Structure 1
Amino acid sequence: MDKRLEYYYDNLKKLKIGLDEPFKFNCTMCGKCCINREDILLNPKDLFNIAKALELQPIDVVEKYCDTYIGESSRFPIVRLKPQGNLRRCPLLKDKKCMVHSSKPTVCAMFPIGRVISVEGASKIDLSSPWDYSKIQYIFDPPHCGDDSVTHTVREWFTSFGIDIEDEFYIKWNMVLGNFSKICRKAEKNFKMPKTTEYLWNALFASLYCSYNTQNDFMEQFENNVNQINPLMERIDLQYEDEKPKTAYHKKVKKKKWKKQKNKSKNSRRK
């Protein structure tokens, strides 16, 4: 989990805000939210939108503006905007303006609002299942920029930037992340050759982040990509099923068997 999300989860009660609760913030176009940033992570939809705005392919955006790495705890491929220079500015900042303002990453469009969701326990991916949007929780972390001269609600703020309250992709992406991260950790632990894990990471990166035609609908392509790679992930999951924890009964039986074997060896030595 990246540090920003970790901070949100650790301070959720203090930072939590309801959809129709007011918060005060006014963007003064100072650009402070675009510098000293190491944490602007891109999901596949962000990458798709940026590629479309710049008339590039997703992989070209990654090579020109991004870093890729394996998440420390998720063990899943992560894409982030690569900060530039001493100010660690966003690479999409040009002449103090965002090059993709109308298609900027979701985390930038939502600022200073954040959101979190827990999808733990999702053992299988079913993209057709109904979604409980009430599980999405919103966060307001007072920023160190702008001023508080304007009052908004989360709902009004999101609507003004074209962000859906019932964000289908956000839930589906987090379901994929939760499930595939678990399988990646299992694969890395059990695969005998590190190269095999690298092949898996490369396949996930190529399929989920890069395999898109920006002239076609994103969501349909995303679901197709997930459905194509999901059988492979399910096979890995089944092949390396976690061992069931030993119950007190099993431990007792094992202890008895060990005692019997020990007694047998003693008797054989006596003979």
Structure 2
Amino acid sequence: MTKIAFDIGGTYIKSAIVEQDGTLKDYQKVQTPVNEGDAIVNVIKLQLQQYIEKHDIQEVHVGISTAGAVDRDACRIAYANPNIRDYTGTDFAAHLAPYIDELRVYNDVDAALLGELTVMPKPVESLFCLTLGTGIGGSYYNSDLGLMTGARHRPNQIGNLLYDPLTKTNYEQRASTNGLKRFLTGKGYAYHSIAEWFDLASKGDEHAKASLQQWGEEVARGIAEIQIIYDPAEIVIGGGVSAQGANLLQFIVPQVEKYLPEGYGHATIRTAQLQNHAALIGAVSEV
């Protein structure tokens, strides 16, 4: 059995054969096309056929991680915002049926959470995955219930929490890495990448430390909300910024208790281990 994984984002489509030990073979990354005339599905079909022919695959098992709300039973996009044109209703099961033996389709944050589960040293009772990037995504897993589904296939839309009527912004607009970039631009600071800002802070730059501390407090506020609603055993922070590891957590974790009742306590908070490959690995973890 060969497992082929795809990760469909607004900017790139990533793909690879995922080996039994979680390593990736024949990794590819192409730009996501403007989705006219099922362009995204057509890219998946083409890449899938290339994998099958190149590696002489006889039994094809496919997992897809994708932006948007996913009807996992139907392998269909239940809802997608306008960032990906004409994506709502995309039926992967119908399009890919001639090529595959088994198909799983997940929202990208759900896939990332499943990927993280594959590298945890012991079973976890419950886990919330929070991804910080262009936007903010969430996924919740319970060992007895599995992934949360939601009546309309769009649970854990936590980016919409904590709306502030004064600034007319929500959690995602303030606490995503895009929110951090807007905050820094608004302060009039010279351009640096997010990684460079963390590097400056680690070297003692007071402006960088103060800015990341303020942004980290916004992230912490949302984590406190997650703690109160879900009471998970662990909270994992994913997205590209998770590569900062302890340098990221130092600006967030100490501030969570500010937004919880005294003595309330909170989950273990850590950064993702698989980082950018979590969704690919998770997409085929249940195949």
Q: What TM-score do you get using the length of structure 1 for normalisation? A: 0.28
Higher relative contact order (CA 8 A, sep 6+): 1
